[in-house]
Amino acid sequence: MISGFHCISKQPLNRIAGGRILGSKVVGKRTLILEAAMMAMASKYIFGGEARLADKMGNGELYNKNEDYKQLQKEKQLQRLKNLKNSRPMEPNYEGHIPLWPSEKLFLFLVSGIRSFYHPENGINIVQLGESTAIKPVLDHLHHTMLADPIGRRILKDKPEVKENTLHMETLANYPKNTFGYQFYTWCKRENVTPDTRAPIKYIDDPTHAFIFKRYRQCHDFYHALNNVPIIIEGEITIKALEGVNLGIPMALLGTLFAPWRLTKIQRERLFDIYLPWAVNSGLKCKPLINVYWEDLLDKDVNEVRKQIGLFPPPDLRTIRDQRRKELKDLNEKYKNLKEEYN
């Protein structure tokens, strides 16, 4: 690791000489060692892979065809995997589960929180922030919300997956135009997304909780589609607010609180005047969205579905934006004309 640090920071020579000890000897002072170690820890996340590769090249390991050596490598790898496993707080509880220590969860929260603020467009940040803030009381609450409702119970039992093949996206295209399924299909096309783009759950320990959070995540697009809200940032904030109010999901609430600071004035005004009031109102009034079996509603009339859930769409964001754009254009035109006339 330390050699990795040297590799990127100072003299590549040190690395070629190899070894941690030499690395720290070169630096010399204790405080510096500590600093270097910390930097190295951090850099491991960023540059770990390349550094290791470089190390190997340096050690002449990459092209060594020696059979014994291969065996040794394999053992080393197994040992490393075992060490990694022993470093975890528990055995994985489900496929893809990465058990974290509480301190690591806190770290994940801080890092993903900061990164989400600066780079909300990067999905992985939001995904990690979502999982690190989905603490047990929140998930317990969602679990109980589902257990208290017949449909929620059915969802817990069936454990449905929202995937392109489970939804049969291609057939949705042939559904009557007034159905929710068709609406969902056209929305996906318009926004250029597919249900398969949702990230799997990794850091939630309890398997039932993991399923509930996955369900929440996978159903996110249905909320968009039913309300005809685009995935541009204002739309995302609106739907996050709806989720936050309706389901009490901390990340959604955090998003609603912090994300607007990154918007332009006109976007913020639209959000505060139209979309957030709509989201809060609707979120409180409609039934818990986690208890909606969306898969059952695809062939239903979209207005029936809205009535059943108690959720009605806000003014169309894209239309408003287009209108404003057109107004601006018209004004610009006028201004240009005036200018020309004046000249």
Partner 1 sequence: MFSRGFIRKLATSTKSTPKITDILIVGGGPAGLTLATGIQESPILSKYNVTLVDGNDLLNKVGDFYYDPPSYFTNRVVSVTPQSMKFLTEKLKVALLQDRIQPYDGLYVNDGITDAFLEIEREEMLYMIEILNIQSSLLHKLTTNSINSRVNIFDNCKVKSITSSVKGDPTSWPLVELANGEIYKTRLLVGADGFNSPVRNFAGLYSRGWKYDTWGLVATLKLDPQSLPIYKLRGWQRFLPTGPLAHLPLPGDNASMVWSTGGNEMSSILMEMDSKLFVKMVNAGFILTTTDIQYYLDAFKKGTLTTEQIIEDIDDRINQVYSSFKDETQIDEKFPPLVVDVVPGTRARFPLKFSHADSYVTDRVALVGDAAHTTHPLVGQGLNMGQHDIEQLLNCLERATLRGQDIGSVLSLEPYWANSYGFNNIRLGMADKLHKLYHTDFTPVVAMRSLGLNIVNQLNPVKNLIADIMTGR
Tokens representing residue 61 in the block:
């390991």
Minimum Å gap between C-beta 299 and partner 1 is 24
> Of the two residues 92 and 113, which places its CB atom closer to partner 1 in the complex?
92
Residue 143 labelled as part of a binding site:
no
Q: According to the binding rule CB under 8 A, does residue 25 interact with partner 1? A: no
Taking CB under 8 A as the criterion, the residue among 42, 78, 148, 257 binding partner 1 is 148
Taking CB under 8 A as the criterion, the residue among 70, 153, 324, 326 binding partner 1 is 153
Q: According to the binding rule CB under 8 A, does residue 147 interact with partner 1? A: yes
Q: Any idea how long the chain is?
A: 343
> Of the two residues 30 and 157, which places its CB atom closer to partner 1 in the complex?
157
Distance CA 235, CA 274 (A): 11
Residue 221 labelled as part of a binding site:
yes
Q: According to the binding rule CB under 8 A, does residue 135 interact with partner 1? A: no
Taking CB under 8 A as the criterion, the residue among 157, 177, 265, 339 binding partner 1 is 157
Distance CA 244, CA 255 (A): 9
Q: Among 101, 105, 102, which residue's Cα sits nearest to residue 88? A: 101
Residue 68 · residue 29 · CB < 8 Å? no
Indicate the angle between helix axes 207-227 and 136-147, nearest 10 degrees: 70
> Of the two residues 58 and 92, which places its CB atom closer to partner 1 in the complex?
92
Residue 140 labelled as part of a binding site:
no
Size of the site for partner 1 (CB under 8 A): 13
Q: According to the binding rule CB under 8 A, does residue 144 interact with partner 1? A: yes
Q: According to the binding rule CB under 8 A, does residue 92 interact with partner 1? A: no
Residue 198 · residue 218 · CB < 8 Å? yes
> Of the two residues 94 and 117, which places its CB atom closer to partner 1 in the complex?
94
Rg for the chain, CA atoms, rounded: 26
Query: Counting beta carbons within 10 angstroms of the beta carbon of residue 269, is it exposed (0 to 12), middle (13 to 18) or buried (19 or more)?
Result: exposed
> Of the two residues 186 and 208, which places its CB atom closer to partner 1 in the complex?
208
Q: What are phi and psi of 179, to 5 degrees?
A: -85, 160
Rounded to 5°, the CA angle 104-5-127 comes to: 35
> Of the two residues 159 and 190, which places its CB atom closer to partner 1 in the complex?
159
Q: What are the distances in angstroms from CA 35 to CA 29, 117, 271? A: 10, 27, 44
Q: According to the binding rule CB under 8 A, does residue 248 interact with partner 1? A: no
The residues, ordered by sequence, that sit 6+ positions from 209 with a Cβ below 8 Å of its Cβ are: 134, 136, 139, 140, 143
Looking at this protein, which amino acid is placed at residue 102? P
For the chain, first and last CA: distance in Å?
A: 68
Contact stretch for partner 1 (CB under 8 A) within 113-121, 142-150, 167-175, 186-194: 142-150
Residue 121 labelled as part of a binding site:
no
Q: According to the binding rule CB under 8 A, does residue 207 interact with partner 1? A: yes
Contact stretch for partner 1 (CB under 8 A) within 103-111, 126-134, 184-192, 205-213: 205-213
Annotated binding site: 220-221, 224, 236
Binding site for partner 1 (CB under 8 A): 91, 93, 143-144, 147-148, 150, 153, 156-157, 206-208
Q: Which residues are annotated as a binding site for Zn(2+)?
A: 220-221, 224, 236
